[in-house]
């Protein structure tokens, strides 16, 4: 498609007192940055691995031998970078004749806005697909049965139900039940909660409704205080409890936003403006880092 004079016909003439162009401005708030970890990439794809898993310590009897273990690899994830782009094609006549300065605004801010909104959608998709996409451990990222290398136990990071005080408490406690690959307690605790912005009023009401008497006259909130991370792009119902010290959703950045410009001076006299960047989003460290509350039974 080409932007022609007829597409912005009213911009061809002076006399308009004011033009609303806020929808051509780049987005002032980028919510995706708070819902993922940015990783820098320097090649076509990157692999995220895990290592450690030394066996538990034991009692050594007098003159007995030390039982030696080994460091082992666990599960890995590979994320392949992709190129994302958008462009604007404008006729020479439209560029020269329009009076509202729409094209200078669009070729910079509007193109950048579309790329930013794509990032928002891509990061949101990572969270929305946690019960669809399979991780390196062979099960979906939000599952009741994440396998462990040397234990019959499994890790559980999926809870069913709406956001209530009881389910909030359950999800926080699920972090205490996680095990290492040898079945020992895995040191982790939640410090953030990621949810759609439509939960904002309900979440604040939930915090205020669970107060108990404390030191006679004051009150104390009984809900563990997790930092709320609001996001308008993720699905409305699910809620994610996060341990931010463990990377989960990642934005793998290969090449930042780049602008290009070209002009067909031989035939059409059209102007071509485009922006592109290279990255991919994904989830790493399966079985750890977050608990998902589905938001519905």
Quick one: average pLDDT of 167-184?
95
What confidence tens digit (pLDDT) does each residue in 274-291 have? 999 999 999 999 999 999
Locus of tokens 């006679």: 216
In the prediction, which pLDDT does 216 show?
46
Domain locations in the chain as residue ranges: 5-54+70-293
What confidence tens digit (pLDDT) does each residue in 188-240 have? 999 999 999 999 888 888 877 765 544 444 555 555 679 999 999 999 999 99
In the prediction, which pLDDT does 217 show?
47
Buried b (16+ CB within 10 A) or exposed e, 127-137: beebeeeebbb
What dotted CATH number matches 5-54+70-293?
3.90.1690
Q: What percent of the chain has pLDDT over 90?
A: 70
Radius of gyration of the chain (CA): 26
Alpha-helical (H) ranges within the chain are: 92-97, 102-105, 111-128, 165-174, 200-208
What confidence tens digit (pLDDT) does each residue in 109-130 have? 889 999 999 999 999 999 999 9
The torsion angles phi and psi of 199, rounded to 5 degrees, stand at -80, -5
What confidence tens digit (pLDDT) does each residue in 8-59 have? 777 666 666 566 666 666 667 899 999 999 999 999 999 999 888 889 999 9
In the prediction, which pLDDT does 225 show?
78
DSSP readout, 3-37?
A: B-GGGGGGGGSS--S----GGGSPPS--GGGGGSE
Q: Which residues pair with 198 in a beta bridge?
A: none
Q: How far is CA 72 from the centre of its chain?
A: 29
**In this structure, is the dihedral angle defined by the CA atoms of residues 101, 104, 106 and 108, taken in order, positive or negative?**
negative
Confidence of residue 166 (pLDDT cuts 50, 70, 90): very high
Distance CA 152, CA 157 (A): 17
């Amino acid at each position: 498609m080409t932007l022609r004079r007829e597409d912005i016909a009213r911009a061809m003439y002076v006399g308009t007192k004011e033009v609303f162009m806020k929808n051509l401005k780049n987005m002032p708030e980028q919510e995706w940055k708070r819902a993922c970890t940015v990783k820098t990439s320097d090649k076509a794809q990157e692999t995220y691995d895990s290592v450690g898993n030394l066996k538990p310590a034991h009692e050594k009897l007098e003159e007995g031998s030390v039982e030696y273990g080994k460091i082992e690899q666990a599960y890995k994830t590979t994320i392949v970078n992709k190129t994302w782009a958008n462009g604007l094609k404008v006729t020479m006549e439209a560029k020269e004749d329009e009076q509202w300065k729409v094209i200078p605004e669009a070729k910079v801010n509007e193109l950048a806005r579309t790329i930013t909104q794509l990032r928002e959608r891509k990061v949101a998709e990572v969270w929305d697909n946690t019960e669809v996409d399979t991780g390196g451990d062979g099960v979906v990222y939000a599952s009741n049965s994440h396998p462990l290398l040397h234990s019959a136990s499994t890790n559980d990071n999926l809870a069913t139900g709406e956001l209530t005080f009881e389910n909030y408490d359950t999800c926080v406690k699920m972090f205490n039940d996680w095990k290492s690959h040898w079945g020992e307690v895995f040191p982790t605790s939640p410090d953030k909660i990621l949810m759609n912005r439509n939960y904002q009023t309900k979440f604040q009401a939930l915090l205020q409704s669970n107060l108990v008497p404390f030191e006679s006259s004051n009150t104390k909130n009984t809900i563990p205080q997790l930092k709320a991370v609001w996001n308008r792009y993720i699905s409305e119902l699910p809620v994610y409890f996060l341990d931010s010290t463990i990377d989960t959703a990642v934005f793998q950045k290969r090449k930042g936003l780049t602008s290009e410009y070209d002009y067909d001076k031989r035939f059409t006299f059209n102007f071509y403006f485009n922006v592109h960047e290279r990255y991919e989003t994904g989830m790493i460290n399966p079985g750890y880092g977050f608990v998902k509350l589905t938001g519905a039974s």
